[in-house]
Amino acid sequence: MKVIAFNASPKMDRSTTSLILDPFLEGLREAGATAELFYTRKLNVKPCLGDRSCSTKTPGQCIQQDDDMHTLYPKLTGADLWVFATPVYWGGMTGPMKNVMDRMVPLLLPPSKVTASSRRKSTGRDGAKGQVVLVSNCGWWDRGIFDLLLAHMKAFSFGVGRDFAGALLRPHGPALGPMRDAGAGVDDVFQAATEAGRQLVRDGRMSQETLDVVARELLPRDTYMQAST
């Protein structure tokens, strides 16, 4: 399995997002996958122009030729799994991650197919299926804050013709690093993130039980809210 992953946190490897993403990638590699990680903060990716040139004037090629997407295109087409890791910003992903996703339109075959549900679903240029995984954290207490982001990622996966394999979610994420450093018994969260990677390679899926451990309550709500004020 070939994996391409994006960490869209501006804090990069010092982020809470990376605390979940890194062990997940470790699990993928332990199970035999090759994984390449990119930090969107280090990428020069311009916003999509929305002129549909990649479908009309230069089919399959973005008209913008002077940024890092052209390094990413062959890596994306060659990857079995796309991993998008982002903190929650206003219910969604960070802007740099959205830019990368928007610029993936040239990877799809026009015209889009119309499914039975009347939604437009594109097909990868090589016709191959693949998977998408979301990794996300937020400062909010409960998992409900991820609902919009999850809906977006599922719609994106549908649109690019890939299976949405699931999400590693970490609510009240700012507590995770300090609790780990204090020896407060959160090792099972990191172990579950690693196991999720192993499962995906080994079984083609991540168990809900494992994902629930990644997202489990770390401390009482009132304690967390008091510490956050």
Q: Which residue segments constitute the domains of the chain, with CATH numbers given? A: 2-228 (3.40.50.360)
> Cα separation of 47 and 95, whole Å?
9
Half-sphere exposure of 6 (CA within 13 A, CB side): 27
pLDDT band at 43; cut points 50, 70, 90: very high
Q: Where is average pLDDT lowest: 52-61, 83-92, 150-159, 181-190?
A: 52-61
Judged against a pLDDT cut of 70, whether residue 229 lies above it is answered with: no
Contact 166, 211 (CB under 8 A): yes
Residues in contact with 172: Cβ distance below 8 Å, sequence separation at least 6, in sequence order: 138, 139, 140, 141, 218, 219, 224
Confidence at residue 227, expressed as pLDDT on a 0 to 100 scale: 80
The pairing of beta strand 163-170 with beta strand 131-137 = parallel
Confidence at residue 126, expressed as pLDDT on a 0 to 100 scale: 46
Token look-up 């990191």 returns 190
pLDDT band at 57; cut points 50, 70, 90: confident
Which of 115, 170, 99 lies closest to 137 in space, CA to CA?
170
Cα 96 to chain centroid distance, Å, stands at 12
Which of 184, 228, 223, 180 lies closest to 20 in space, CA to CA?
180
Q: CA 137, 138, 140, 144: dihedral to nearest 10 degrees?
A: -60
Token look-up 């699931």 returns 166
> Cα separation of 79 and 130, whole Å?
8
Confidence at residue 51, expressed as pLDDT on a 0 to 100 scale: 87
Greater confidence, 102 or 126? Answer: 102
- Give me the mean pLDDT over the 76-94 stretch: 97
Contact 190, 19 (CB under 8 A): yes
- Give me the mean pLDDT over the 210-217 stretch: 98
Confidence at residue 125, expressed as pLDDT on a 0 to 100 scale: 42
Half-sphere exposure of 146 (CA within 13 A, CB side): 24
Confidence at residue 116, expressed as pLDDT on a 0 to 100 scale: 41
Confidence at residue 208, expressed as pLDDT on a 0 to 100 scale: 97
pLDDT band at 65; cut points 50, 70, 90: confident
